[in-house]
Structure 1
Amino acid sequence: MEEKPFKCEVCNRAFAQSSTLVNHRRIHTGEKPFKCEVCNKSFTQLSGLVNHQPIHTGEKPFTCEVCNKSFSQSSTLLVHKRIHTGEKPFRCKVCMKSFSDSSTLRRHQRIHTGEKPFICDICDKPFSSSSDLRIHQRIHTGEKPFMCEVCDKSFSSSSDLCVHQRIHTGEKPFKCDVCNKSFSQSGNLRTHQRTHTGEKLFKCNLCGKSFSDSTRLLLHQRIHTGEKPFKCEVCGKLFSVSSSLRVHQRIHTGEKPFTCIVCNKSFSRSCNLLVHQRIHTRGKHFRCDVCDKAFVQSVYLLVHQHAHRGETPSKIFKCELCDRAFTKSSTLMKHRRIHAVEKPFKCEVCNKGFAESWGLVNHWRIHTGEKPFTCKVCNKSFSDLSNFHAHQRIHTGEKPFRCEICDKAFVTSSNLLMHQRIHTGEKPFRCEICETTFTYSSELVTHRRIHTGEKPFNCEVCDKSFTRSSTLRAHQCIHTGEKRFTCEMCDKSFSDSANLRRHHRSHKCEACVKSFTQSSNLLHQTVHSGE
């Protein structure tokens, strides 16, 4: 065994030659006596300077005889040749993983030791390799030295540029050995492979839910924290994911990048295009095994199947605050807003609070009278964008929201949602006094007046009050003499529909000309029919 008589007094490392010890000491002292005359970069050893200088001259005298690639240093060529030979002579003693060069082994060993010797002098963040530190420091300097030759986009690291260039080349070098799907990044391949293994390494420490990649965990954690870091610069609305912000911004820009190749109709979201295309393909892949009726989405099939069994659809989406359950996740999300006690955005005029800034922006227009959305057909203006879109469909006749159960179409998604409760039997609005439930919020508002005695609709002629506006309109016909409801059989007119219905019963039996005043007496007709 070679004798190593020269020992470092700082770290006790021993060397066979005194000159090697001298070079080693410079690690501790920071001394770099060898300086490049071109760029003033300094080195601890002369060999380091010699290896550096070909960067300026462009000289690459060492060529690989296999692929003809050239290198400025012989040591770099030696490491490169191992790509062709597959040689990995440097092995980790902890996990036995092998590497083609010693520097990569040293970086790897820091995974086991946890050592991060390279510290950022601006924010004190530590790193396990000097290259990672250099890339990090570009966050502070804003330096992006690696530019794409195709689109001139710049990057802070060469690896990011390499990944970006695959967008232009279409290269996907990382292939799944199970399903042969290819990916442009190795990280995406690793994430994909977990779909085959079922492995979920990333666990939420609040609710225990697991995820196959760290990005999905990060997005999930925002449900608990309420963090919404992505803000719309136009209306101030906040989002938890950047993709949701990009989709939202299309409301302001009017951009609809997803176009149907059959009818050229455009959509702001790819999922809306996908649903639309089923109109052309009739792609109803979810089929009922009882009556053979087909549906576009599985959730509609589930609702339909409950109708066969005479059951109310299962409500699998439960509110964690009040234990109320819903058949759809979208309905649960809307319901959660009821519990949003914190409403930090206050109206300066009426002090009404809102959970999000965009709600305040829309509300403010009530006070200002601003109506920025104008219909080009009839020049009617609207303060709310959604109301503007709904209005435009009056002119186009478009009813894009279709019930998958009975095929009835609607102008707005809210009307479809209310209609679907006919099929689901859902009555989400509950009176807090008598527990009676209602299908629509307007029914609950009217019902509450039974308990409060409120009658907000006043007749201007006789000051009589009513709980419903429809009852007031019927009453006003007494003063005006208006009779809007006409019998189709005798043209007799009535002031309200109830009197018309009673009148209908007075018509004679077609068989024997006998008359009746009540609908129950129409049972008489069965005498003639033999039923």
Structure 2
Amino acid sequence: METESDGEDCGGPEPARNSDPDTHLQPKTDDKTGESSEPETDDSDDWTETREPQSGLNSLKNDKVPVRGLNGSKKKLYSCSECGKKFGHKGDLTKHMRSHTGEKPYSCSECGKRFSRTGHLKKHMRTHTGEKPFSCSECGKRFSQVENLRKHMRTHTGEKPHSCAECGKRFGQRGALKMHMTLHTGKKTVSCSECGKGFDHKGKLKIHMRSHTEKKPFSCSVCLKSFMNVRRLHIHMKSHTGKSCFSCSVCQKSFILKGNLNAHMRTHTGEKPYRCNVCMKSFAQSGTLHNHMIIHTREKP
């Protein structure tokens, strides 16, 4: 049974926690398009498009609502006939209507994939060109999208904006929190096509599939022993150093991984953060919950 250890190793510099993530966003100076987490605006040339909406969507006609501007002059708002959303420019309404019609007038010249906005096409093109205009000021790693750089910066700042409502554990990425929540619910979202075994996320299924193919792509540089996943390799590597740098403040027992120490501490605190969503019984370890769920599902471990 695998533990729930997070694989955190000892040593290495602590992340700077007083950094402002946005100060590290460094696109190339010649990148005039830029990116932002705000809703993007396409080139003004697109505002002149007059494609007819599909299946009776006539919001581009006669739905002009006059209002007073700041200088007292009348300003026309263009209203969507489908959802009622209003726009100050006809071009903005034209682009919005594509969310109703499904129209995607911009296509990639490389693979043919279509997009509703030019900005989305520009982002996509970087997957073909390999362009990565956004770089991390801490480690120099480069990214094609500014939002990916913002997520990466949390590894340096230590920012963890997403927290678990059950146990309070915090995460830097929303996906990591979603994956963690399955430990509390015991929900298995994916299953093996070979043996039917269920898993709470795709990463575990991918590792499990190697048990059928006997693929072990990660090997130890000291003894050449191979492993199915990199986490097991990292744990194994410490068997050569014999170093255990996480110790219990109550009984002084030492652990190689911080996650194992966290799990051990519950034997002292009595904390049971993992709860069965069928009978509401709580457990200190995720593995114990996993075994318990078999009682309800009648699945073999």
TM-score of the two chains, using structure 2 as the length reference: 0.49
Larger radius of gyration: 1
Q: Which has the higher helix share?
A: 1
